Chains A and B, each alone.
Chain A
Amino acid sequence: MNSLWSEFKKGIIAENPIFVLALSLCPALAVTSSATTSLTMGLSVMFVITMNNCVVSLIRNVVNPKVRVPVYITSIATIVTVVQLALQAYAPALYDALGIYLALIVVFAIILARAESFASKHTLIPSFFDGLGMGVGFCVALVIIGVLRELFGAGSIFGVKLLGDWYNAPLIMILPAGGFMLIGYLIGGWKMLVQHMEKKEAERSEA
């Protein structure tokens, strides 16, 4: 049980897909101009990565290693199509807002990376928790970026106006340039957090 918890936990902080592994930065820039689209994208990726990890770990013994990448991609594409159809049916506005990036989940580096490096070598249960942890980490990172960009760039969070009319929002936060700067500083901040936690961990193991 303990090891499952650590599989889950590592994806959130110590190996956060965006801030530590720096994989799939493209959606982290492109869809994070508002908190709502960030959350939708984060949840979609979380679903896809978890499901795909389960599928890959189930079929890992029957797939010829030579053709594994096309097989994984087919599996990812199927799950992404499910997400796409569901969003199109129940949340058409969000579907439009995410645009091409929803279909592009198929080629997100983080999903194939987890399938390659984890799910293809582990059994179902650890793969599920690894995918869930990575998905949660991705979602958390996207929501942090989205909330900050929306707050500074539009004065609101999840569409709710927090800052009054006096706030003359700088457009740069909505544009990619501001996203790059913010992600850079968040990566720095995340590194400080991880180092701090490792120091605490080392102190605890010594004591």
Chain B
Amino acid sequence: MAEVKSNKELFNVSVSPHIRSKESVSKIMWTVNICLAPAALFGAYYFGLNAILILVAGVVSAVFFEWAVQKIRKKPVTVKDGSAFLTGLLLAMCLPPTLPWWMTIVGSFIAIVIAKHAMGGLGSNIFNPAHIGRAALMVSWPVAMTTWSKMTTAADVVSSATPLNVLKMQGHEALIDTFGNASNMYQALFLGTRNGCIGETCTVLLVLGGLFLIYKKYINWQVPVVMIGTVGILTWIFGGLVDPAGSLGFFAGDPLFHIMAGGLIIGAFFMATDMVTIPMTIKGQIIFAAGAGVMTVMIRLLGGYPEGVCYSILLMNCLTPLIDRFCQPKKFGARG
């Protein structure tokens, strides 16, 4: 018995891998959360108290539902890895700032319980949970989800439309009129001082957060570049054709506006790059991003809704298994 007393002298034998990366689910998730935080804080500051309530309700309820489901399913509780926090945050950032805060909780419930855990939990969900939550809210309370308020300097709330809505209903000229002139409009879109969902307005902070994720190699730069590029090119070519004030002809669209308006920036950097629900190979991801861009443009220009990023990403999520199938990498050494 005396010989095996001290285990320290024995060699530790284990199966490969022996060298592990320091990356982990929780580190990646929390980094994404931190990259989203500036835009969320800007939204909270710009849209005021109700936006803060929505953000808090979204995050707290998402984490709570994750904990509750894992307790009920008797699975290890992984709320600390930040993935539920991220889902709640993304959901809340894609909601209009005037939404009653309790609707956010319903959205979180659908996102976490139905879209994520009913499919098998983190890594097994087919659709982006935050976008499923948003789509379900959009279907459930269409009026509340399309009512927007404008924060004026006098700190009172005026009901008004989003820029994309104005473009769809009244045309490009009316759109520029609402901002005064064109450079004012681009400035407002760039800095985020415009109407829209809580977290989608501030282009500059979202792009900075996205660039940091690309720098850390958590997301591939091809995805946002291809998606935003597709939207830009297609809206430039066809955007002028469907202007309600009369067709302006080909190549008369406003790509810069379409890129910065709506949820395209947050969608391209943070939603279309969700590791679980997009194809595995770079080639597949480029197809995914291009498809999402095409569908966004089709919904914006031809569809009934003014904005289509959410639905386009969900529709491409459906195609992910198919894309994966056609983009299998060649086996090492294989011919042809």
Contacts and interface: CB of A to CB of B under 8 A. Distances in A.
Interface of A: 168, 170-173, 175, 177, 181, 184
A171 B138 CA distance: 9
A184 B140 CA distance: 19
B136 A172 contact: yes
B142 interface: yes
Interface in B141-155: 141-142
B116 to A, nearest CB: 14
Chain A contact residues: helix, strand, loop or mixed? helix
A168 B118 CA distance: 26
A172 B140 contact: yes
A170 B100 CA distance: 13
A171 B140 contact: yes
Contacts of B1: none
A86 B135 CA distance: 42
Nearest to B140: A170
B141 A170 contact: yes
B141 to A, nearest CB: 6
A170 B106 contact: yes
B114 interface: yes
Contacts of B139: 171-172, 175, 177
Contacts of A172: 136, 139-140
Q: In this complex, which of A170, A175, A181 has the most chain B Cβ atoms within 10 angstroms of its Cβ?
A: A170
Nearest to B114: A181
A88 to B, nearest CB: 33
Contacts of B114: 181
Interface of B: 100, 106, 114, 118, 136, 139-142
Contact of B142 (A168, A171, A177): A171
A190 to B, nearest CB: 16
Q: In this complex, which of B106, B114, B136, B140 has the most chain A Cβ atoms within 10 angstroms of its Cβ?
A: B140
A17 B141 CA distance: 33
B135 to A, nearest CB: 9
B95 to A, nearest CB: 15
Contacts of A171: 139-142
B141 A177 contact: no
Contacts of B106: 170
A170 B114 CA distance: 16
Contacts of A184: 118
Given A172-B136, A175-B139, A181-B114, 15 more contacts: A168-B100, A168-B141, A170-B106, A170-B140, A170-B141, A171-B139, A171-B140, A171-B141, A171-B142, A172-B139, A172-B140, A173-B140, A177-B136, A177-B139, A184-B118
8 contacts: A168-B100, A170-B106, A170-B141, A171-B141, A172-B139, A173-B140, A177-B136, A181-B114
- 10 A-B pairs with least C-beta separation: A170-B140, A172-B140, A172-B139, A171-B140, A172-B136, A175-B139, A177-B139, A181-B114, A171-B139, A170-B141
A18 to B, nearest CB: 19
A189 B159 CA distance: 44
Nearest to A170: B140
Contacts of A181: 114
Nearest to A188: B118
A177 B100 CA distance: 22
Nearest to A152: B140
A186 to B, nearest CB: 13
A200 B216 CA distance: 56
Contacts of B100: 168
A181 B115 CA distance: 10
A168 B101 CA distance: 13
A8 to B, nearest CB: 34
